[in-house]
Amino acid sequence: MSVQHRDLAAGRWDQLPFLTQMAHVGGEVERALNWQAKNNASYGRQAAERALELMDFMLDGVREGARLKELARAREVLADYFFGANGYGSTPLSLRRYFSFFSCAARKND
């Protein structure tokens, strides 16, 4: 998988606050879900890959603690939903709800 967010990978990502980072991930998840609902598997897969890439950027910057566990589990759930057997039983609604809190909080902190 090639890097889709080149400018963020070059270091800009680490300068963003955590809530903003999660809101960006949520935006990609929202795009993936929307393309999935429109039966466009290719675009949906690309958006899901971008969401996972952003999660990987976040995981690279965290070494321990509750945030690491939360990010690792969120990434695992996304990968399972979009590319696995959906063993966690995620739904578009549950994913939207999870990430919408970060989007609202990020907007409130701007």
* Rounded CA separation 78/94 (Å): 11
The pLDDT value given to residue 6: 57
31 neighbors 47 (Cβ within 8 angstroms): yes
Q: Give the alpha-carbon dihedral of 43, 48, 54, 59, to 10 degrees.
A: -160
- pLDDT tens string 1-27: 555 655 665 567 888 899 999 999 999
Q: Exposure string (b/e) for 91-102, b if CB count within 10 Å is 16 or more? A: eeeebeebbeeb
Q: What is the pTM of this model?
A: 0.88
Residue type, 9: A
